[in-house]
Structure 1
Amino acid sequence: MNRNLILITDTYPFGAVAESFLDKEIPYLSSFFNSIIIVPRNFPAEIEKVERKMPDNVVIDTSLLKYFTNKKIKRILFIKIIVGSILFYKEILKRPKIFFDIRALKKTIYYLLSAYLVKNWVLNFLKQNNSNLSQTLFYTYWLGSSTMGVNLVKKDNNLIKVISRAHRYDIYEDLYIPKYLPFRNESMSINRIFCISNHGMKYIINHYPFLKSICSISYLGVEKPDFISQPSFDSIFRIVSCSYIVPVKRIHLIILALKEFAKKRPELKIKWTHIGYGRLFDQIKKEATSLLSNNIIANFTGYLSDNLFYNFYKTNPIDVFINVSASEGIPVSIMEAQSFGIPVIATAVGGTPEIVTEDVGILLSENPSPEEIANAIEFFIDNPEITKRMRLKSIENWEKNFNAVKNFTEFAKTLKMI
């Protein structure tokens, strides 16, 4: 039975948004383990930096950050990889095309470099702490080079136990150009893989059938809010979206859909609020200003802290939530919307069809036209009774499938027994 958990992250707990899902998970893990050590690899961008209060038995270990910021260590490892890493040349022999694609070659080298950094950190950590490996579990939040790094140590010491969550970017190779993720066998041959969606689990098993016995689904979740969102009772229809403003989220599609809707129904007024920021923030704001007519109000809040985020949903009527992303695991933003009782319009990508059905919203095609999205918005406006039923069903769906108490308690229990 495991008493100690070592959680390797990217930037958590220092990043405001990236990996913020862990805010909901950590309290449950801390109630099942005697001690938790969180080990981030990187500092976030300055705009993302936050401070978090952790449970008493959770410690932040920043020593791995020193490995990833030490240019001398990285330069030495880089040379070792190029000169004589058996793993590197095995990967080249397995996929010879890598050698002729500079992007794939760089990805392979830096993936392996990161894995070696984590491996060296693990070896040093075990040496310094004299850990009881029979009671210790390594948990990598992403199924990537950190997982491989721990696994390289595990190959020489089978007492080490390592599990990983698998989300989206760490699963789907076709998200990349070229369509390739390095060292899949070395990164995935671990004790357990917990996929956040059934879609992701099927993808892994289809591509790597030998992993079927260690793969399972473990949905993320959100906690029960102390309110239920209210619909609009005036002449304005209110839409909310929430995400990073980056290309994969296709926020420009929402703008084009609203432009199309305004032409179809010029007599109706819509207020669209987007919560979140990202590198396309200014560009998207300019597009909204230039393309949307007077009957469409666009509001961009930027990043909202947890308190401001929940206060927004609590104090503003909201009629529908929209997500038109080109790729997803299962969006936590949709879990949150459903917990508030808000129906959803979303694209049928990744695991999204596991949370959005005809009972709780409208599932768009993977690559919807602005007209398709505009028609979905129009449906909610023209069918208030159906929308009312969807609001109730949304809460039921959250309670059944995405309740943090149920999901994270079960997950923590499972980790305890590995």
Structure 2
Amino acid sequence: MKKSSVPLVVFTDNYPFDVGEEFFEQEINYLAERFTEVWVVPMRVGVGASKTRLLPENVSAVLLPLEDARGWKQRVPWYLPRLVAGPGRVELGNTRRSAVCAVRELHFAVDALHRFELFTRTRLYRERLVGRPLIAYGYWLYYGAAMAQMLRATHDAPVAAVSRAHAYDVNESYKPQGHLPARRRLVEGLDEVYPISQYAASFLTPYLSAGGARLDIRHLGVPASGRGERTREPIHIVSCSHLAPYKRIDRLADAVGALSERGRRVRWTHIGERDEQRLEAMREYAARVAPKAKIEFLGYLPNDRTRSLLETAGYTVLVNSSAGEGVPVSVMEAMAAGIPVVATDVGGTKEIVHDGVNGVLAPAQATGEELADAIAQAVDASPDDFRRMCEQAVLTWDEEFNAERQYRGMARRLVELAEGLRQGAAA
């Protein structure tokens, strides 16, 4: 397979350093297959961060020196001309909403300009990218998208500027004052935006314009998985997430307790979270509300170990009790392994969990009792119906969230954009 010689620069949040963006660990391999040079530049970690993921041979990561003694407010005078005019300007329309929105717009613009200045000073940019067409790929419609948008406007050779859009970077209700900065500037200043779901796309349509980005929904994906036997007695629940409050793992603990009180034999395994204080607090809570259940909190596990457990551990259902989601990767991984899913009807979850087909949707604000009812509904299906749920889970994964299909398609589209740049430069 011929590789594109146009450099691909991906602006992540953390990957391949520290934790997070585990779902990008699959995509990067497909990008590396199709591009000779791939550079990964994280936006939220700087020099000194710990590299935690191995990269393909032709992929390199570059850390920016983000930490210095100055705060963002101290940088305002330095960037003032560019905050008023140019591709890094403050989005004035949003500053009129409230004083808080104005501050958030200014803060974002300063931070994005600072990162852009640091990037364009790097040896990578000066010696490997100047004068060459490139693909600038923001993994999030936030700092990464801003980098792509500003490169498109200022780089001395053609740039195709694109960005994915997930959840925190599109859903304004997650943010103070219901406000995300630079929405119109980013969408109008990119070539293409790839929402990972219809739900994510719905937040962006108000910002579309004739000369702005084209929206193209491109799902995330997970690899194929082995599929073991599903145990229904005892009920073996698995959940997979960190323990931030919006994940509402306490409500899942309440549900486990409710099932136990109904005389059900329940085992619950939770995968995820590095913070020992959070883990200990949730262990104590779960022991208090569900003393009859067998419960284990495994903490953070590498992605391959998590997938191995989903394949082999005989889980009955995966439960996602979150208050907000894009399309949960843990749900994709469970379905790849043939595990039905019980999930709250939030965000883009209904785009993967089809009620009564491959799992059960619980109310968005489900109580512990309501979650217990949804789990019981899935577990108590007839043997044939439960088997069909398992089969439909795999079918949903294969048709919509298969990593090979999704990420090959994404890489192919980026190569098409690169080829357009190359041909344009040669004309």
2:52 aligns with: 51
- The CA deviation string for residues 300-327 of structure 1, in whole angstroms up to 9 with x for no partner, is 0001123432332233211001001111
The residue type equivalent to 1:269 in the other structure is R
Cα RMSD of the aligned pairs, angstroms, is: 2.7
CA contact (8 A) 1:328 1:350 kept: yes
1:144 aligns with: 142
TM-score of the pair, normalised by structure 1: 0.88
1:78 Cα deviation from its structure 2 partner: 3.0
Distance 1:210 1:250 in 2: 41
| Partner SS for 1:14 | coil
Distance change >3 Å, CA 164–CA 332, structure 1 → 2: same
1:163 aligns with: 162
1:353 Cα deviation from its structure 2 partner: 0.7
Distance change >3 Å, CA 76–CA 324, structure 1 → 2: same
2:410 aligns with: 411
1:222 Cα deviation from its structure 2 partner: 0.8
Distance 1:394 1:84 in 2: 50
User: What are the within-5 Å matches in structure 2 for residues 17-416 of structure 1?
Assistant: 18-43=20-45, 49-62=50-63, 65-66=64-65, 68-72=66-70, 77-81=75-79, 85-86=83-84, 91-92=91-92, 94-99=94-99, 101=100, 104-124=101-121, 126-134=125-133, 136-157=134-155, 159-189=158-188, 190-208=190-208, 214-225=214-225, 227-232=226-231, 235-263=233-261, 265-266=262-263, 268-277=264-273, 280-294=278-292, 296-357=293-354, 358-385=356-383, 386-416=385-415
The residue type equivalent to 1:186 in the other structure is R
1:74 Cα deviation from its structure 2 partner: 5.4
- The CA deviation string for residues 8-47 of structure 1, in whole angstroms up to 9 with x for no partner, is 111110123x11111100110011111101112333899x
Distance 1:381 1:127 in 2: 59
Distance change >3 Å, CA 44–CA 392, structure 1 → 2: farther
1:83 Cα deviation from its structure 2 partner: 8.8
Distance 2:82 2:162 in 1: 29
Distance change >3 Å, CA 2–CA 181, structure 1 → 2: farther
CA contact (8 A) 1:344 1:356 kept: yes
2:423 aligns with: none
Q: Which moved more, 1:161-170 or 1:361-370?
A: 361-370
Residue 8 (str. 1) matches residue 11 (str. 2)? yes
Distance change >3 Å, CA 212–CA 42, structure 1 → 2: closer
Distance 2:176 2:254 in 1: 27
1:132 Cα deviation from its structure 2 partner: 4.6
Distance 1:60 1:217 in 2: 27
Distance 2:28 2:243 in 1: 27
CA contact (8 A) 1:14 1:44 kept: no
CA contact (8 A) 2:246 2:323 kept: yes
1:49 Cα deviation from its structure 2 partner: 4.5
1:72 Cα deviation from its structure 2 partner: 4.9
Distance change >3 Å, CA 5–CA 95, structure 1 → 2: same
- The CA deviation string for residues 318-345 of structure 1, in whole angstroms up to 9 with x for no partner, is 1001001111111110000000000000
Distance 1:84 1:392 in 2: 55
1:176 Cα deviation from its structure 2 partner: 1.2
Distance change >3 Å, CA 128–CA 76, structure 1 → 2: farther
- The CA deviation string for residues 350-405 of structure 1, in whole angstroms up to 9 with x for no partner, is 11111100310001222112222111111233224211110111111111111111
| Partner SS for 2:254 | helix
Distance 1:408 1:52 in 2: 19
Distance 1:387 1:44 in 2: 48
Aligned identity (percent) is 26
Distance 1:212 1:338 in 2: 36
The residue type equivalent to 1:14 in the other structure is F
CA contact (8 A) 2:362 2:370 kept: yes
CA contact (8 A) 1:219 1:402 kept: yes
- The CA deviation string for residues 107-133 of structure 1, in whole angstroms up to 9 with x for no partner, is 333311221023213443544335454
Give ranges in structure 2 of 5+ residues lacking alignment.
418-427
1:154 Cα deviation from its structure 2 partner: 2.5
1:73 Cα deviation from its structure 2 partner: 8.9
Distance 2:332 2:97 in 1: 40
Distance change >3 Å, CA 365–CA 212, structure 1 → 2: farther
- The CA deviation string for residues 284-312 of structure 1, in whole angstroms up to 9 with x for no partner, is 21110111131x22210001123432332
Distance 2:195 2:44 in 1: 23
Q: Which moved more, 1:71-80 or 1:313-322?
A: 71-80
The residue type equivalent to 2:6 in the other structure is R
| Partner SS for 2:186 | helix
- The CA deviation string for residues 209-266 of structure 1, in whole angstroms up to 9 with x for no partner, is 65886101111111112x2032126x41100000011011111111122222233x22
| Partner SS for 1:155 | helix
TM-score of the pair, normalised by structure 2: 0.87
Distance 1:212 1:356 in 2: 32
